[in-house]
Amino acid sequence: MKVLLDEDVPAKLARALSGYAIQTVAGMQWGGIKNGALLALIESERFDIFLTGDKNMEKQQRLAGRSFAVLILSAINWPVIRPHILAISSALDEAQPGTVRTIDCGVFVAGLKRSSN
């Protein structure tokens, strides 16, 4: 399963998700490419899933019906999403081409201290 992580998704998530062929937007040298062109590149490179934290993308782009699934993280702060690795992995496994789903990973609250697991 080919997964592309958007620029806003922490690189640590790629290391935490074993068993997937994960690339990053930065690693593909696609940094700064606007969403419409980025979606076309994702299709042309035959990615199965695009994982992003861009909650506005669904309102700005036609995502349904594409050749890949789009998964949107509710948070992109590593300490917030780290406890949700299993849920993210399950969402990757369940993702179907042409679908859009938000993964509830909680929300980032400025000033909130978390344990350092």
Per-residue pLDDT of 42-95, as tens digits, reads 999 999 999 999 988 877 788 888 999 999 999 999 999 999 999 999 999 999
The rounded mean pLDDT for the chain is 90
The answer to whether residue 114 is domain-embedded is no
pTM: 0.88
φ/ψ (deg, to 5) at 64:
-65, 140
What pLDDT is attached to residue 107? 78
For 69, the 3-state DSSP assignment is strand
pLDDT tier for residue 14 given thresholds of 50, 70 and 90:
very high
Is residue 110 one of the residues assigned to a domain?
no
Specify if 112 maps to a domain: no
From the number of C-beta atoms within 10 Å of its C-beta (0-12, 13-18, 19+), residue 51 rates as buried
Residue 25 inside a domain? The answer is yes
Tell me what pLDDT residue 51 has: 97
d(CA 109, CA 23): 28
Q: Is 117 contained in some domain?
A: no
Residue-range definition of the domain harbouring residue 25: 2-103
85 within some domain = yes
d(CA 53, CA 42): 16
Asked whether 66 and 98 are in contact (CB, 8 A), the reply is yes
Domains contained in the chain, number: 1
Paired tokens of 100: 């859009």
Rounded percentage of the chain residues whose pLDDT exceeds 70: 91
pLDDT surpassing 70 at residue 112: no
Residue 116 lies in a domain: no
CB 70 within 8 A of CB 100: yes
pLDDT of 32 higher than 70 = yes
